[in-house]
Structure 1
Amino acid sequence: MSWTPDPRPNWVAAVNRGDAGPVVDEARRPFDPELLMAEALVRQGRASDDWAALGNNDFIEPLTLFCHGLEHEADLTVMGRWMSRRMILRLLEVRIQLNEYLAADPGTLSEPIDQPIFVIGAPRTGTTVMHGLLAQDPAQRAPEGWELLRPVPPPHPDPDIRAADPRIALAGAELVMPQTVASGMLAIHEYSGRMYKECLSAMSFEFRSEEMVSRTDVPTYQAWYDTADLRPAYRTYRKVLQILQRRMPTRRWVLKSPAHLQGLPALLEVFDDARFVITHRDPTAILPSVTSLIATMRWAHSDQVDFAAIGRHHLELYSRSLDNLIDLIDSGRLPADQTAQVPHKLASTEKMAAARSVYEQLGMDLTAETEAAMAAHVAATPPGKHGGHSYQFEDLGLNQAEVRARFARYIERFDIPVPDHE
């Protein structure tokens, strides 16, 4: 196996050596859940023991497990500790803001979320492409990075005022930091405050999110998360969307995350009229690509990254998740008329054809105005503008035939092309 991360910038190496006093001092503080909650409360102008301001206690157990993992399992660098600590404080502060806002304006909870479209599918199958395309429809809206990281107060309806919101820069700095620390990140997946964002950022307010395990190796939290009830995370996500549309009426949300494959039963309970766009790809292409992404994310936080272990984990995770997807379709819990299937090749090389196919499968009207907006978006977002994403199946240390055998049901059900990579 030969996976080697790109070298970090010199300034990151200096910070990790301890050459940046304020960052080092903050990074040395322990990942103690009570201390972090108290600090977040004080930062929001509350008493340090005003626990009620943080809402119900559903988040306490996962926060505690996550903090344990960060302190004792993740082997974080100075930058890794600093970024993780800042993320936790933001999540706790936004919890306080969410509760304050909903207490002041309880009518927000009556905001309708009608037939949202969720773009799902394993990672690296074209979910980002389809999310961006569907967001071009004037009748639809995709949340931007700053909106999901800092949703309170609701965005201003005036576009000029909205564009000057200071939260855009705050969220942008946090989102860009990992791709600055890990040089190869930008070529794999770009983030910014104004780009469309995955649902995980809002689900993280309950600390029930794959965001935690994608950034850091926290096996105790991972074991808990694998069987966790995700309904609290989806309920909070729904509230976030209601807040975001409080001053900007939204006909339909377009949302996206591969992680929804693990939470579909909970998602369907909270968003019972949801529509789904499901992207598909050869698993022997999915696994090395997603493993490279996660390994690079973890490299931003730690010097110790086990590429093969990440690959084995995602083999188990997505073979199980895609089997569960088929079970949900076969049982009728995920009705066929509420889903659109999109092959990766169509999403990656024939984007407009992919969009037309989705609208046809979901019985939606694709207007000339929307087609023109989609075509302009495709022209403005060429693939590979930040360099190529290099990965090899062989780096996983897995057997190609065995991988395809694990995904045999998925490959057959969705007629996935499986060229020989050997």
Structure 2
Amino acid sequence: MGWTPPQRAAWTETLVAGDIPPLTDDLDRPFVAEVLIGEARGRTGLTDLGEGDPDFREGLDRLLYSLEHEANLDRVGRWWAHTWVARLLDVRLQIARYVQDDPGVLDEAIERPIFVTGGPRTGTSILHALLAQDPANRVPTTWEFLRPVPPPEPRTRAVDPRIALAEREIRFITAAVPVMDAIHDKSGTLPKECISAHALAFRSEDFTGQFAIPGYAAWLAECDMRPAYTYHRLVLQILQRRTPGDTRWVLKSPAHLLTLDALVDVYPDARLAVTHRDPLTVLASLSSLIATIHHAYGNPSDIRDVARTQTDLWCTAYDRLTAFRDAGRIAESDWHDSAYADFMRDPIAVVRELYATFGLDLDGEAERRMRDHLAARPQGRHGRHTYSFDDLGLDRAGIRSRLTDYQKRFRVPTEEI
């Protein structure tokens, strides 16, 4: 039958039609960096965007150009893009002021962080969420990565008013396309991907995952990602500033596969937990997800075009993972590999193996919390995400051939799809 875009909520069509003046008139204005920066300075009363880090302007300018000239957004998408960029600029201003007022934050040590990575749709999110149940681990939540200033206070972290702000922002896409709940769980208090911190440096797969912006995507694929990881580290330093005791950060993003060299340049003592799944299944699920997101923002994409773009991106990612692993920049004792099928069969056993590999203790209370988390969130509770590789218009045998080295190197089983 082929992939068809899901139904958008009725309010989106009202907004697109311009039936909510004067709001809709403002949504047609162009994406201009100096205008958006000026507005952010006016909102916050702050002026320093971190001009000591000029790299962010190149990413901002390229992003705004692609949003204006490539993304083909309707008013829903333009409103969301304006809102998102505005929040990023506000937070950069707040971070620069915080560092000015508390320069000691730059001395905060980020030691032996664990990065969960692997192809999209391979179980990285649920593994990250399970590791978050161990009180010995510190996992950044959505609201913390979206609004890290001021640093959270331990006694009020669970009721911080920024949780509601983050919830409202990240639930926008579900309000536009309700079926998104069945595809990817979202909440202001759930663990958040590192790409949200990278977005503050305007070098992030977060943008390319939400908008069809090929010019920006091509630049991002080749740009120096160390500024993004450096800013990511600064965000972690701020988040832990008021947290006493040792902090063992556990972080996550599939996009790390594309930028492992930059990650290790900034975090030379990193440990990496990599999830693996048949890449053809990954491409089918991911292409459906991204085509749905594009549809939410009024940029109806042909899933076959999305699939071709994602195939090139993730074949590159798997090639980079293989080359980086073989280069030996990280000791084998600092790697942990897990298969999606094994994780689905016995997730706690995979967690135990991860802890053993990294020389960590998994106590009974942490394991109990992990089991309770799984029991409270059964797979498919929001509905099923259905997808088919046949919808992608790709040469199955050709793609399989491109990924042979990866599957052999990491013993990734082939699935029926």
State TM-score, norm by structure 2.
0.97
Separation (CA, whole Å) in 1 of partners of 2:30 and 2:309: 28
Deviations 1:387-413 (A, max 9, x none): 000100001101221111010001111
Instruction: Please name the residue that 2:119 is paired with.
Output: 122
Of 204, 207, 213, which aligns to 1:212?
A: 207
Matched, 1:292 2:303: no
Separation (CA, whole Å) in 2 of partners of 1:315 and 1:277: 23
1:55: how far off?
4.8
Of 242, 247, 253, which aligns to 1:251?
A: 247
Of 61, 68, 76, which aligns to 2:58?
A: 61
Question: Residue type of the partner of 2:59?
Answer: P
1:52: how far off?
5.8
1:286: how far off?
0.5
Of 347, 366, 383, which aligns to 1:370?
A: 366
Structure 1 unpaired stretches of 5+: none
Separation (CA, whole Å) in 1 of partners of 2:98 and 2:185: 31
Instruction: Please name the residue that 2:340 is paired with.
Output: 344
Deviations 1:58-103 (A, max 9, x none): 1111111111111111110111000000000100110000010011
For residue 259 of structure 1, give the secondary structure of its aligned residue in structure 2.
Answer: helix
Structure 1 stretch displaced more, 53-62 or 328-337: 53-62
Question: Residue type of the partner of 2:65?
Answer: H
Instruction: Please name the residue that 2:392 is paired with.
Output: 396
Of 222, 235, 238, which aligns to 2:233?
A: 238
For residue 247 of structure 1, give the secondary structure of its aligned residue in structure 2.
Answer: coil
CA contact (8 A) 1:55 1:99 kept: no
Instruction: Please name the residue that 1:268 is paired with.
Output: 264
Separation (CA, whole Å) in 2 of partners of 1:261 and 1:23: 40
Of 140, 146, 151, which aligns to 2:148?
A: 151
Instruction: Please name the residue that 2:38 is paired with.
Output: 38
Of 89, 92, 96, which aligns to 2:86?
A: 89
1:270-349 matches, within 5 Å, as: 270-349=266-345
Of 162, 169, 172, which aligns to 1:174?
A: 169
1:375: how far off?
1.0
Question: Residue type of the partner of 1:87?
Answer: W
1:128: how far off?
0.5
1:13: how far off?
1.3
Matched, 1:202 2:197: yes
CA contact (8 A) 2:170 2:187 kept: yes
1:68-79 matches, within 5 Å, as: 68-79=65-76
Matched, 1:386 2:388: no
Separation (CA, whole Å) in 2 of partners of 1:345 and 1:53: 44
Separation (CA, whole Å) in 1 of partners of 2:294 and 2:106: 37
Question: Residue type of the partner of 2:350?
Answer: A
CA contact (8 A) 1:120 1:127 kept: yes
CA contact (8 A) 2:49 2:92 kept: no
Same amino acid, percent of matched pairs: 45
1:363: how far off?
2.1
Matched, 1:80 2:100: no
State TM-score, norm by structure 1.
0.96
CA contact (8 A) 2:71 2:299 kept: no
For residue 156 of structure 1, give the secondary structure of its aligned residue in structure 2.
Answer: coil
Separation (CA, whole Å) in 2 of partners of 1:77 and 1:251: 43
Deviations 1:265-310 (A, max 9, x none): 1110111111111000001101011111111111111242121111
Deviations 1:142-189 (A, max 9, x none): 11100000000001120xx33332211111111010121122211110
For residue 226 of structure 1, give the secondary structure of its aligned residue in structure 2.
Answer: helix
CA contact (8 A) 1:329 1:335 kept: no
Instruction: Please name the residue that 1:162 is paired with.
Output: 157
Separation (CA, whole Å) in 2 of partners of 1:174 and 1:23: 18
Q: Could you say what the CA RMSD is over the residues aligned between the two structures, in angstroms?
A: 1.4
For residue 276 of structure 1, give the secondary structure of its aligned residue in structure 2.
Answer: strand
